[in-house]
Amino acid sequence: MVRGIMRPRILFAVTCILCAALSCTRHRAETLDDAPAEAGPVLSQLLKLPGVTVESAVPDSGFAAAYAIRVRQPLDHKNLGGGSFDQRVILSHRDLAAPMVMVTEGYALGRNFVRELAYMLDANELRIEHRYFGESKPDSMDWQYLSIEQAAADHHHVVELFASIYDGKWVSTGWSKGGQTSLIHRSMYPTDAAATVAYDAPLNLALEEPRIDAFFDRVGDVSCRERLIEFQRLALRNKDRLLPLFRWYTRGRGYAYSVGEEKAFEYIVLEYPFSFWQYTEAKCVDIPSDSASADDMLEHLRDVVSFWSYSDHALDSPAMYQFCTELGYYGYVTKNVADLLSDADYPNCAYAPRNATCVYDPEPMQRLNDWLKENGNNIIYLYGANDPWSAPAVEISETTNAVAYSLQEGNHFTFINDVPIQKRQEIVALLRSWLE
């Protein structure tokens, strides 16, 4: 999640694949007769799909064509006359008979992390932006319709549309929150995909998942864990030196903190061990000691944790709405630094939409957990052992043929191409067998 699984507040603030960058050419046609003369067979069939707008784009290497597509979706799939929005989809085309890899983004269309499956399987690829993120937003952000049920119905509708054109079997996949999304969709529409690959996808069973708290007492070695705590305490003991530098740095970048600059700084310090293990390339030996200057301490903290993520830019996060209502998230381990904090409460849900009522319901994730244990066949789970999100990993049951791989020393950026060659070949062979 970015902060996470997630970390909507860091990675997924980056939204790319814009039409200008793709050199798009727009085609609008209500019927095939309206299609432009240069339209090829794929474009002609796309233009026949109801509620779809198509823009041709420059394909990546290995693909014959690419299209930036808008799919009209009902705001409420249980009330088709109750409003709609356009969902952004990117299609990379190889062959109508090839398999289809459906990437369920958990956020806005962003960095192309899981393109590897389309290459490994010689497949087509559909990347689907999540409802309420990026450009896939309704005119009015009525939060009650940002639910896992509505999002799964979006993905099912996309499958129905494109399966009328593409003959190959489907693989659903996603990374982090997108991996959660692929598992949720699979549980609600189990016949939409023949297989699923969930990268670094947690299954949280509480609003503040206790298994993540316990993770920080065992990850890495004792010496490194102690150095992380020592740095947290060092930063908090030196707030009088670091806060002026923090203000200078963040105000220069236009960051404001409604929670208060001191409390935002404390959020960042509490986040530090999570981000250190989740993403950073920093080494334990690089953690500043008590002899470090204030500049060096702040620079290290900034290198590990995004200061943007706790600014007002991160307020009203649709991801935090989902985490705080259905998906669950993590809290902060304060036991090692509580005596140095200015407050007793540091909830992540403070960054959820301020005009929404967030009441956490544990039932959706418990139902998903039960389904995966009983019916979750043809699923591959991939985790990095150093990733905090591996702590609430899906537990494989003996009643399914699902397979889990854990990469030692791997973090939240753990993909199939990162695992040893023999395991990589096993994964690809298994996927191909499920697609026969």
CA 130 to chain centre: 10
Residue 7's region, left for phi above 0, alpha for psi from -120 to 50, else beta, is left
Scanning 253-376, the segments in alpha helix (DSSP H) are 261-278, 294-304, 318-322, 363-375
E strand or H helix that includes residue 226:
helix 222-237
Whether residues 423 and 323 share a domain: the answer is no
| Confidence at residue 282, expressed as pLDDT on a 0 to 100 scale | 78
Window from 8-17, 270-279, 368-377 with minimum mean pLDDT: 8-17
CATH number for 161 = 3.40.50.1820
Residue 229: predicted pLDDT: 97
Q: Looking at the structure, do residues 248 and 279 belong to the same domain, yes or no?
A: yes
pLDDT value at 14 more than 50 = no
Residue 118 shares a structural domain with residue 38: yes
Examine residue 66 and state whether it is found in any structural domain, yes or no.
yes
Instruction: Let me know if residue 183 belongs to a domain.
Output: yes
User: Comparing 194 with 27, which gets the higher pLDDT?
Assistant: 194
As for how many domains the chain has, the answer is 2
Q: Are residues 357 and 321 in contact, defined by beta-carbon separation less than 8 angstroms?
A: no
Lookup result for tokens 């290459």:
119
Q: What does the pLDDT look like over 35-49, one tens digit per residue?
A: 443 446 899 999 999
The answer, yes or no, to whether residue 23 has pLDDT greater than 60, is: no
Tens digits of per-residue pLDDT, 335-365? Answer: 999 999 999 999 999 999 999 999 999 999 9
Q: Same domain, yes or no, for 333 and 382?
A: no
313 within a domain of the structure (yes/no):
yes
User: Where is the domain boundary, 351, 386, 418?
Assistant: 351
Cα–Cα dist 315/372, whole Å: 33
- Whether residue 145 sits in one domain with residue 15: yes
Q: How far, in Å, CA of 106 to CA of 199, rounded?
A: 12
Residues 339 and 244 occupy one common structural domain: yes
Mean pLDDT of the chain: 90
Task: Tell me whether residue 380 is in a domain.
Answer: yes
The residue with greater pLDDT, 78 or 280, is 78
Q: Give domain status of residue 213, yes or no.
A: no
What pLDDT sits at residue 111?
Answer: 64
Residue 210 lies in a domain: no
Residues 258 and 388 in one domain: no
Strand arrangement of the beta sheet that strand 403-407 belongs to? 25-27, 52-57, 65-74, 84-93, 124-128, 100-104, 170-175, 195-199, 379-384, 403-407
For residue 285, CA distances in Å to 79, 117, 215, 429 come to 57, 36, 21, 40
Residues 299 and 232 placed together within one structural domain of the fold = yes
Would residue 140 count as lying in a domain? yes
Both 200 and 234 in a single domain?
Answer: no
DSSP classification of residue 324 = I
Contact 385, 410 (CB under 8 A): yes
Residue ranges making up the domain that contains 194 = 3-205+364-434
Residues 223, 154: one domain?
no
- Per the DSSP assignment, residues forming a β-bridge with 114 are none
The reply to whether 28 and 168 lie within a common domain is yes
Which residue among 294, 325, 351 closes a domain? 351
Residues 6+ apart with CB under 8 A from 26: 53, 54, 55
Q: What percent of the chain has pLDDT over 70?
A: 90
Which of 317, 351, 385 represents a domain boundary (last residue)?
351
Average pLDDT over every residue of 174-180: 96
* 95 vs 15, higher pLDDT: 95
242 and 185 part of one domain = no
Lookup: tokens for 365: 């994730």
In a domain, 212, yes or no: no
- Please report which helix (H) or strand (E) contains residue 208, including its range: none
pLDDT at 31 over 80: no
